[in-house]
A and B are shown apart, each in its own frame.
Chain A
Amino acid sequence: MAVIELDHVTKTYKSRGRKTLANNDVSLSVNEGEVFGLFGHNGAGKTTIVNQLLGLLRPDSGSIMIAGKDVVKEPNLGRYLCSVQPQSRTPLGELTPRAVTQIMGKLRGIDDAEVERRTKELFGKLDIEQWADVQGNKLSGGVLRLTGFCMAAVAPGRAVILDEPTNDVDPVRRRYLWSAIRDLTRDGTAVVVVTHAIREAESAVDTIAILNEGKVLVQGNAREIKDRTAGDQMKLEAVAKAGEEQFVKPEWAESLKLAEAELVLTFPRDLATEALRWAGEQRDRGLVAQYSLTEITLEDMYIELIGKAVDGVQR
């Protein structure tokens, strides 16, 4: 069942007589119990979507439903139905992670004992107990970001909205965080992760939507989209030590690109041994340094899609 449904949402900002189309006919659907990745460049319209869900902005047209409630008609409902991670620059002043997380839990109406248990559980899971009682204005960006996550997760609504949850967070705690995000979905809570860290979100999201200049370029199951666009392809990445003229596209490769000393070849998966042999030869000839064979990632696909969209606009 869909927890969040946006239907043909359009939002324009007007400032000093200039109009900016932040959301252009956006339709999205986020289901119960799924992690939904909302990807896009800066200015793609991601935050505008979040602010409309929370009733901080009103769309020009279109409908937004959360858990069956029309939040365009009743903009005050959104923030009761969704819990949100505050923007990273939100100052906590002298609030400690423990105090602010507990206050958020109590504001959502869960009892003191449960608030305490949840807070302890989350801090333990993210391994931030040592900062639990340090004032917010003395905390590092990463710990603040994790605190923001706990503020949203201590008493999740029907949906939890996380805005760039992993920025500034160290690699070890990032893993804890993704696992904590998955935990949230176990009772049917929908989680929307707004991010441009696609590579790292790739394995953690179920469904994605890619936004570019206010429009949804693609949305659906992450795995399916990858299979559809990348198909059975792999890529060879290598550090180039020679100029473009030195490289000739081998027959087995479908494409060869060299940009900023990074050589990338794509090819069908079953030709991987050939690709490896070729890379070894190039290295022996001193044309490349280290190289690797990898899967086509969601990020590759994203960059290609955004690139196409930009080309389309230019043409």
Chain B
Amino acid sequence: MSSGSGSKLSHVIELQAKKQGSYLVVFAIIMIVVALGVAIGFSYLMSSPDDTGGGMLYLATGAPTIVLIMTALVIVPMQNAGAKLTGYIDFVKSLPVSRKLFLIADVGIWALVTVPAIAISVFVAHLIFAPGYAISWTIIPGFVLMVLSCFAIGYGYSFVMPAEPAMAVSQLIAFTSLMFSPINFPLERLPEWLQSVHEVLPIYHMAEVMRASLAHTSFSAEPVSYIVLGAWTIVGFFGAVRFLEKA
């Protein structure tokens, strides 16, 4: 592992970026719209924008999490399932490089796609509602951890599962994460059994870490959130790498 694998990584990034090309740009724009939609559009659902329960801050800090979940747990798994069906994954596996490079390159590209949406939605929400952002330095490690855990799970399940069920799961995640996950509202509003489910699943913890990073004066994340995300990261990447390395 020397400069050789570094330049190989750059070629794999070139391969993946050029293959998807303008689609990545279109997708980055769609994600900006989605993020603004969550931050601004959902505010109409609330009785009054200056809702004292901190509702606006929930939406404004939930939007970036929705962007990551939509990208890493819905769109990318759909892509991967399609890539499996068309034989593109087999092509990637037959390239003369370490197959982990493909994972690193692809995660890097898709993580970059989410950055404009997250930055713009936070900025715009701040201008319109000034919901009380207080950005902490933990946003950097927090963002890295969220990106890693999100993509680890997305790649993990879409590689390990057969293509068709993986596509179905991605749709299920899209729906339930928007409606039944404590991203845009406090966990306590959910029925107790669903609360316990979310203690184990990563989505709630992602939202917690994102909130603590974006508004550390109003929210804090328990250490357990970081641990749960770390565990999902390891399980997800382990599954994805195992699938790629399998002969």
Contacts and interface: CB of A to CB of B under 8 A. Distances in A.
Contact of B23 (A86, A93, A103): A93
Contacts of A220: none
Contacts of A135: 21
A94 B247 contact: no
A92 B19 contact: yes
A168 to B, nearest CB: 16
Which among A89, A94, A104 has the greatest number of chain B C-beta atoms within 10 A?
A94
Interface stretch (B33-41, B88-96, B129-137, B199-207): B88-96
A87 interface: yes
Judged by DSSP, the binding face of B is helix
A56 B94 contact: yes
A207 interface: no
Given A94-B21, A99-B18, A107-B8, A87 B90 contact: yes
Contacts of A99: 14, 18
Nearest to A57: B247
Contacts of B8: 107
Interface stretch (A77-85, A124-132, A173-181, A260-268): A77-85
Contacts of A91: 19, 86, 88
B168 interface: no
Interface residues of A, number: 32
A40 to B, nearest CB: 20
A242 interface: no
B247 A75 contact: yes
B228 interface: no
Interface in A89-126: 89-95, 99-100, 103-104, 106-109
Contact of B95 (A51, A107, A109): A107
A55 B247 contact: yes
A86 B18 contact: no
A58 interface: yes
Contacts of B12: 107
A54 interface: yes
A168 B247 CA distance: 31
B11 interface: yes
A80 B94 CA distance: 9
B15 A103 contact: yes
Contacts of A89: 86-87
Nearest to B21: A94
Given A93-B20, A93-B23, A106-B11, A80 B247 contact: no
Interface in A42-80: 51, 54-58, 75-76, 79-80
Contact of B15 (A76, A84, A95, A109): A95
Contacts of B14: 99, 103
B13 to A, nearest CB: 10
Contacts of A157: 96
A54 B94 contact: yes
Interface residues of B, number: 25
Contacts of A56: 90, 93-94, 247
A103 B101 CA distance: 14
A114 B174 CA distance: 47
Given A87-B91, A107-B11, A93 B21 contact: yes
B247 A90 contact: no
A87 B83 CA distance: 13
A63 to B, nearest CB: 14
Interface in B1-33: 4, 7-8, 11-12, 14-15, 18-23
Given A94-B22, A95-B18, A107-B8, A79 B94 contact: yes
Which among B12, B95, B247 has the greatest number of chain A C-beta atoms within 10 A?
B247
A103 B11 contact: yes
Nearest to A99: B18
B19 A93 contact: yes
Contact of A108 (B93, B96, B247): B96
B18 A107 contact: no
A154 to B, nearest CB: 12
Interface in B45-61: none
B97 interface: yes
Given A93-B20, A95-B18, 12 more contacts: A56-B90, A75-B247, A76-B245, A86-B91, A86-B94, A90-B88, A90-B91, A91-B86, A92-B19, A95-B19, A99-B18, A100-B18
Which 10 A-B pairs have CB atoms at the shortest separation, nearest pair first?
Answer: A94-B21, A93-B19, A75-B247, A58-B247, A86-B91, A90-B91, A80-B96, A54-B94, A87-B87, A106-B11
21 contacts: A51-B90, A56-B247, A79-B93, A80-B96, A86-B91, A89-B86, A90-B86, A92-B19, A93-B18, A94-B20, A94-B21, A94-B23, A95-B15, A95-B18, A100-B15, A103-B14, A107-B11, A107-B12, A107-B95, A135-B21, A136-B19
